[in-house]
Structure 1
Amino acid sequence: MFALDTHLQEDTWLIGDFPLCRLLLSNDSNYPWFILVPRREGITELFQLDDSDQQLMWAETTALARVLKGLFGADKMNVATLGNVVSQMHMHVIVRYQTDVAWPGPVWGKHPAKPYAQADVDAVRDRLASVLDAGFTFSEG
């Protein structure tokens, strides 16, 4: 049975679900920073997913990155699977701007997180609702 890692539970807002992945918003308003987690038990690496889940993971990641780039007017999209703190397989999809606080460096550990207020998370959900397709299910916020 799928269970979300406790670090991810504590550090993110639940947005909803794609067919394979849970979509989370990192609780750091310095960047529009999203995290995709395949809802499969015991997966720590991308290659542990079966072939069809790997294809679906990449499709969901690519679709999300494309939507976010347009929706947020990104200068660059950062997509990565780092799992040194959280071993559960997850994909970071981060909107970057040349004016953001960490540019051009990585976002990890550079600046203190600026937590979102509930109203700001709701605004992100509303923006996403206008562009995500029918295959996405929003959580109750």
Structure 2
Amino acid sequence: MQPDVEIHPALLKDCHDIGRLRMSRLLLMDEAAWPWLVLVPMRPHKVDWDDLDPMDSYRVCDEIRECSMALKRLYRPIKVNVAALGNLVPQLHVHIIARFEKDAAWPRPVWGATEKRRYEPNALKQRLQEIEREVHSTFGFADRKG
């Protein structure tokens, strides 16, 4: 079993912790314009995708796939964007973003496209419950937040 890895403070500032999957922490970006998940593989000192060993890489790919499918089932986007940029936050993390033809940035990338719109408390609670229920029904959580 791997030791707990601390999540970078910038991610904690911008996200809500949903829970731990088999390999990663599942976060919700505090950006109400899009259903936007962030997976943080719980391995120390990983910056880029190729820093993961092959089995861990496979496990994270499985989690990305499951989270993408959960967003599709819940929100029916026309596209799900997956990106691991990490230019501002050096800890390896993967963005999974549901996109819609009528969203504020379509068809451009979401980064910097609009002014940040944080979730209102009731909307945040609903979004967290929807995602937790959908992802948990697929492969469960190693722990639960909230």
**Pairwise TM-score range, normalised by the shorter structure:** over 0.9
- Specify which of 2, 11, 18 is matched with residue 21 of structure 2: 18
1:28-73: per-residue Cα shift (whole Å, max 9, x none)? 1011111000011110011111111000000000111011112111
CA-CA distance at 1:110 after TM superposition? 1.3
- Specify which of 87, 91, 95 is matched with residue 94 of structure 2: 91
Aligned residue pairs, count: 141
What are structure 2's unaligned runs of at least 5 residues? none
Q: CA RMSD in A?
A: 1.4
Q: Is the 8 A contact 1:15 1:138 kept in 2?
A: no
- Give 1:94's aligned amino acid: I
**Following the alignment from structure 1 to structure 2, what is the Cα–Cα distance between the partners of residues 4 and 94?**
20
What are structure 1's unaligned runs of at least 5 residues? none
**TM-score of the two chains, using structure 2 as the length reference:** 0.90
**What's the % identity of the aligned pairs?**
33
* Aligned match of 2:140: 135
1:91-124: per-residue Cα shift (whole Å, max 9, x none)? 0000000000000000001111100123222211
**Following the alignment from structure 2 to structure 1, what is the Cα–Cα distance between the partners of residues 70 and 57?**
20
Q: Is the 8 A contact 1:14 1:139 kept in 2?
A: no
1:60 and 2:63 matched: yes
- Write out the 4+ residue segments of structure 1 that deviate beyond 4 Å after TM superposition: none
The aligned runs of 1:118-129 (5 Å cut-off) are 118-129=121-132
* Paired residue secondary structure (2:91): coil
